[in-house]
Amino acid sequence: MLTTIGLLTHKFFTEYRRHAIVVILILAAIITPTTDPFSLGIVTIPLYILYEAGIIIATRIGKEKESNKEWS
């Protein structure tokens, strides 16, 4: 949504990927009820996959916006 309205680009998401990984790990540690690494991984992996999917979607939206500007 933020890419659609022009607040963020895919470059922002890729530039701050390392920061996002740390935030995802902290969020997963807060969410998981136990302290074992397996539970942490079970929560971390889907969150990271969603982040990467967001980058792919933002890239596609950015390309569509650029192609629409060329037609205007």
pLDDT by residue (tens digit) across 11-60?
Answer: 888 999 999 999 999 999 999 988 889 999 999 999 999 999 999 998 89
Q: Are 62 and 12 in contact (CB under 8 A)?
A: no
Q: For residue 16, which phi and psi values (nearest 5 degrees)?
A: -105, 30
Q: Give Cα 62 to chain centroid, integer Å.
A: 15
Confidence of residue 71 (pLDDT cuts 50, 70, 90): low
| pTM of the full structure | 0.81
Name the percent of the chain in helix, strand, coil, to the closest 5: 80, 0, 20
Round to whole Å and give the CA distance between 55 and 61: 10
CA dihedral 56, 61, 62, 64 (to 10 degrees): 130
The pLDDT of residue 72 is 56
